[in-house]
A and B are shown apart, each in its own frame.
Chain A
Amino acid sequence: MTEYRMNISAPNIVNVCIDQITETEKQGRMYDCYSREPFRFQNELQLMRKMEELMDWLDYPQSSMKTRSYQKAEREKPADHPEKVWSCEEMLQERGVRGTMVIHVQYRQNATWQGKLLCVETGETQEFFSMLELLKIIDNEF
């Protein structure tokens, strides 16, 4: 059994499988515990949006600030009792063609994210203190 140097029981753990890297974008699949069907993303922006959607839906970790918008936007309603359809261990078995990373957002403070990223292939864990830092880590890794 693989040992993960992070808390893999957190509800918002995601497994990001990078399948293709173009000159400007990374494409792949994102898995969470609430669906066996992956979310396929064409670029990092789609991935970030989906991750935020998941965290709003779970209401975990709770955001300390409400995101600003040019228009009064309705926030995604949190789910009543989100149920996992497969275990984290099972979900984390999925691998990307070009690389795999496990992302755990621990806090959503200062209108951004703080957490840890585990690069599955190297076993290295890195901390990020904002989404900007997370993007930079992903950019450096692949």
Chain B
Amino acid sequence: MENKKKSGTFVVHIKCCENATWQGDVTWAEENKKESFRSALELIRLIDGALDMSEE
């Protein structure tokens, strides 16, 4: 079973939609870290990775 993940706050800014997906940046509010993403997959991976990190 997956570990219970902590919660997190993310501010997502979608700047454009190219290649059938989203591009923009996401700010992890608790850590005040900003990363840009080039696809929805990358956005999901960023958020998922951040929750994994806050779990430790």
A residues near B (Cβ < 8 Å) are 42, 45-46, 48-49, 52, 65, 67-71, 73, 109-113, 128-133, 135
Contact = CB atoms under 8 A, between A and B. Distances in A.
Q: How large is the interface on B (under 10, 10 to 19, 20 to 34, 35 or more residues)?
A: 20 to 34
A52 B39 CA distance: 14
Contacts of A110: 18-19, 21, 38-39
Interface of B: 2, 18-22, 28, 31, 33, 35-42, 44-46, 48-50, 53
Contacts of B21: 110-112, 129-133
A70 B28 contact: yes
Given A68-B42, A69-B46, A111-B38, 15 more contacts: A46-B2, A48-B44, A67-B41, A68-B37, A70-B31, A70-B35, A70-B49, A109-B19, A110-B18, A111-B21, A129-B21, A130-B21, A132-B21, A132-B39, A132-B41
B45 to A, nearest CB: 5
A132 B20 contact: yes
Of B19, B22, B35, chain A has the most CB atoms within 10 Å of the CB of: B19
Majority secondary structure of chain A interface residues (helix, strand, loop or mixed)? loop
Contact of A70 (B18, B39, B40, B46): B46
B39 A111 contact: yes
A42 to B, nearest CB: 8
Contacts of A132: 20-22, 39-41
21 contacts: A45-B48, A48-B41, A48-B44, A49-B48, A52-B41, A65-B38, A68-B36, A68-B42, A68-B45, A69-B35, A70-B35, A70-B49, A70-B50, A110-B18, A110-B19, A111-B38, A112-B21, A112-B40, A129-B21, A132-B41, A135-B40
